[in-house]
Amino acid sequence: MRRNSGRSSVWNFLRVTAVVFAASSLLLVASDNAPERVPSYVSWSQETLAAASAGDAFRGMLLAKRCDHCHGSEGFSATGSTPNLADMDELAIWKELEDFRSHKRISRAMEPIAESLSSRDVADVVAYYSKLPVYTDPQDNRNFPGSRPGPGHAAIASHLVAFGDGERGIPPCQSCHGPVAYRPGVPSLMTQNSEYVLSQLEAFANRSRANDINMPMRTISTLLTEDERHALAEYYGSGLGLQPGSSR
């Protein structure tokens, strides 16, 4: 008798398990319709801000010796397709390295390098580059002040940088990328290579880069015309962004 009731409770248990399993698999199928697309695992909470700005710049300098080959010993790269890192905002480099680590930003060169760094290494390297000054007497073979844009492109770009385009809903570049205002994780562009700026604008536009939180750059780069993208890249790459108003 006792044995019998034990067996029936086992059957009951199995039946309940089967029902729970079926229900949960149905739920999973239902929720599978819209898998969440996460652009980046970074969120600018207080802990993140503290972790990103707690680096040791001296240790970062030693670690950054291996970055010199591409990003330059003074933080200015010799090739235009590689970004300059000198004086870059701490949070901006930190976010990109974290995105490379989590494969949210795709780069054949940077993903393995970022993966090899610990989170402490990332914070240290970031601290070093953010404190690296923009030397007035460069000793390296840098690409940076590129050729100046023609008058047409300079006018288009300086207007977009300073005022954006209210009709199309393009905010001014300088309201997030400086010097007027910055948002956390947004890079300063004033000393960036033109080739790199252009490649990133195009990557955002064709969605091959999609790690911008709440998609501001994917939206804006899609609204910009091909000509405007070139104009903006030439504007920033020639150092015009360092002296606002000089191009007019």
Partner 1 sequence: MNWRKLRTFLLTVLVLCLIPATRYYQIDAPLLHFLKGSRDVDPLSLHLAGEFVENNLGTEQGADGSVTVRMIAQQYLFVPHCILVPAGVPVHLRITSADVVHALAFNGTDYNVKVLPGTISEAQLQFSSPGEFKTVCREFCGAGHYAMRSELKVVPRDQFPVLRSGERGNCAAQ
91 within 8 A of 155, measured Cβ to Cβ: no
Q: Burial of 10 by CB count in 10 Å (0-12 exposed, 13-18 middle, 19+ buried)?
A: exposed
- Which of 24, 116, 141, 222 binds partner 1 (CB under 8 A)? It is 222
In whole angstroms, give the CA distance from residue 169 to residue 221: 12
Q: How far is the CB of 222 from partner 1 (least distance, A)?
A: 5
178 within 8 A of 185, measured Cβ to Cβ: no
- Which of 5, 136, 147, 214 binds partner 1 (CB under 8 A)? It is 214
Q: Burial of 190 by CB count in 10 Å (0-12 exposed, 13-18 middle, 19+ buried)?
A: buried
Using the rule CB under 8 A, give the single segment among 50-58, 122-130, 132-140, 208-216 that binds partner 1: 208-216
Structure tokens at 138: 């460069």
- Which of 37, 136, 137, 147 binds partner 1 (CB under 8 A)? It is 37
Taking the least distance from each CB to partner 1, the nearer of 21 and 41 is: 41
Structure tokens at 122: 């990332």
Please give the size of the binding site for partner 1, defined by CB under 8 A.
36
- Which of 18, 23, 180, 242 binds partner 1 (CB under 8 A)? It is 180
- Which of 68, 181, 208, 225 binds partner 1 (CB under 8 A)? It is 181
> Contact residues for partner 1 (CB under 8 A)?
33-41, 43-45, 163-172, 174-176, 180-181, 183, 213-216, 219-220, 222-223
